[in-house]
Chains A and B, each alone.
Chain A
Amino acid sequence: MKLLVDFNACIGCETCEAVCDFIHEGRPNIRVVFASNGVGVPINCRHCDDAPCMAVCPVNAITRDRDGAVVINHEKCIGCLMCLSVCPFGAISYEPVVKVVYKCNMCAERRAEGLKPACHEMCPANAIYYGPDGGEEKRKHVAELISRER
């Protein structure tokens, strides 16, 4: 499964950030960053196929669960911040009190109950996709669509 944001459809309303903030008690894992031209860009973990954070973690605290989400085991994490430095999207944050890193886990608690990630459910513009990975063909098709629109 993939959790992807369609930047063309996003209206930058911060609803995803709000609901993530509420679920994770004031620590949102998806953040809407405003570019210099005022366009909102939600930044969250892409759960990469070849995740650099998983490869670099010295204690193997970052694993992939059965839905394909990259999750951090907080009991194993030693807070060395290696994952934080290799993440290409800056999606990982540091909790200075407990000294562990945290990031989006595709709403693991909700998925265990058969629900979908909250940001996907709440997005008013339907800009957050949650579903199976379309593969190389789909990526090629979408890239062509975007280049034509611009």
Chain B
Amino acid sequence: MGQIPTPPFGESSGIETDRKGRIVVDSRHMTSREGVFAAGDVVLGPSLVGRATRDGLYAGRDIHLWLTGVRT
């Protein structure tokens, strides 16, 4: 939660971040660690509420698709 990954957040978590500390996700909002998803400011960087909301909504759908096995 928040605009940056909540500490403690280190190399040991196995979640890749970019130069600015944002979490790197693929097109289905999954991080470099299988089964861990990220969305919002923590991925996009600080921005408008609406952009984070949109990312969260789409991430929710992607999580549902992944859990139900529709998209792997």
Contacts of A19 in B (CB 8 A): 53-54, 57
Interface residues on B, range: under 10
Contact string against B for A residues 18-29, beta-carbon threshold 8 Å, 1 for contact and 0 otherwise: 110110000000
Asked if B58 and A22 sit within 8 Å, CB to CB, the answer is yes
B58 lies within 8 A of A15 (CB):
no
Stretch at the interface among B2-10, B13-21, B27-35, B43-51: B43-51
Q: Are B48 and A13 in contact (CB under 8 A)?
A: yes
Size range of the chain A interface in the assembly: 10 to 19
A49: shortest Cβ distance to chain B, in Å? 29
Q: B-side binding surface: helix, strand, loop or mixed?
A: helix
Give complex CA distance A17, B55 in Å. Answer: 12
A17 to B49, CA, bound (A): 11
Chain B residues closer than 8 Å to A122, beta-carbon distance? 53
CB distance from B35 to the nearest CB of A (A): 23
CB neighbours of A16 from chain B (8 A)? 50
Within 8 A of B (CB), among A12-50: 12-19, 21-22, 32
Min C-beta distance of B24 to chain A, whole Å: 22
Cβ contact within 8 Å between A124 and B49: yes
Cα distance A121–B53 when bound, in Å?
Answer: 13
Select from chain A the residue with minimum beta-carbon distance to B47: A14
A13 touches B57 (CB 8 A): no
Which one, A18, A32, A124, contacts B57 given CB within 8 A? A18
A32 lies within 8 A of B50 (CB): yes
- What CA separation (Å) do A15 and B47 show in the bound complex? 12
A19-B53, A22-B54, A22-B61 given; 18 more Cβ-contact pairs under 8 Å: A12-B48, A13-B49, A13-B50, A14-B50, A14-B51, A14-B53, A14-B54, A15-B49, A18-B50, A18-B51, A18-B53, A18-B57, A19-B54, A19-B57, A21-B54, A22-B57, A32-B50, A122-B53
Chain B residues proximal to chain A, CB less than 8 Å: 48-51, 53-54, 57-58, 61
Contacts from A to B (Cβ < 8 Å): 12-19, 21-22, 32, 122, 124
| 4 nearest A-B pairs in the assembled complex, by CB-CB distance | A14-B50, A18-B54, A13-B49, A22-B57
